[in-house]
Amino acid sequence: MRNNPKMLGKIPIAPIHAPIKAPPISFPNATYVELDDDDVTDLIREEFDPLRLLPTCRLCKSCKKNLEEAHFDEGKKTCRTCLHIHRAYMRRKRRREQAETGGGHGGG
């Protein structure tokens, strides 16, 4: 199983329907605990939760990329890079429109 190319990157897990017993211990007063299916399922969910190992990612609404939480401002659904590009585009657009209309600064 260790050298099987189909199993590369996969974690072997015992079948849930098989009862699991604690391995034999050399202590004379050792007690063995039998686990039923619900106990095994709870252990697998707690210890082998793959989402716990992944960094928290969010989907940017503009570029549709999965990015880490650090790329987003609080309360925003668009990443900082996309926001920067959008602001620069709007700035250029406003300047171009002002130049076409011959408007000045517009302020008092």
Q: Are 35 and 18 in contact (CB under 8 A)?
A: no
**Selected residue with higher pLDDT from 83 and 31:** 83
What's the total number of domains in the chain? 1
Please give the pLDDT value at position 53.
57
Q: What is the mean pLDDT of residues 87-100?
A: 96
Q: Give a yes or no: residue 8 inside a domain.
A: no
Q: Give a yes or no: residue 6 inside a domain.
A: no
Q: Give a yes or no: residue 69 inside a domain.
A: yes
Q: Give a yes or no: residue 36 inside a domain.
A: yes
Q: Give a yes or no: residue 40 inside a domain.
A: yes
Lowest mean pLDDT among 18-22, 42-46, 81-85: 18-22
Q: Give a yes or no: residue 4 inside a domain.
A: no
What is the extent of the structural domain holding 86? Answer: 14-21+31-100
Q: Give a yes or no: residue 90 inside a domain.
A: yes
Measured between alpha carbons, how far is residue 66 from residues 13, 31, 59, 81, 84 in Å? 29, 48, 5, 13, 18
**Max Cα–Cα distance, the chain, nearest Å:** 95
Q: Give a yes or no: residue 2 inside a domain.
A: no
Q: What angle do CA 22, 23, 29 make, to 5 degrees?
A: 80
Global confidence as pTM = 0.46
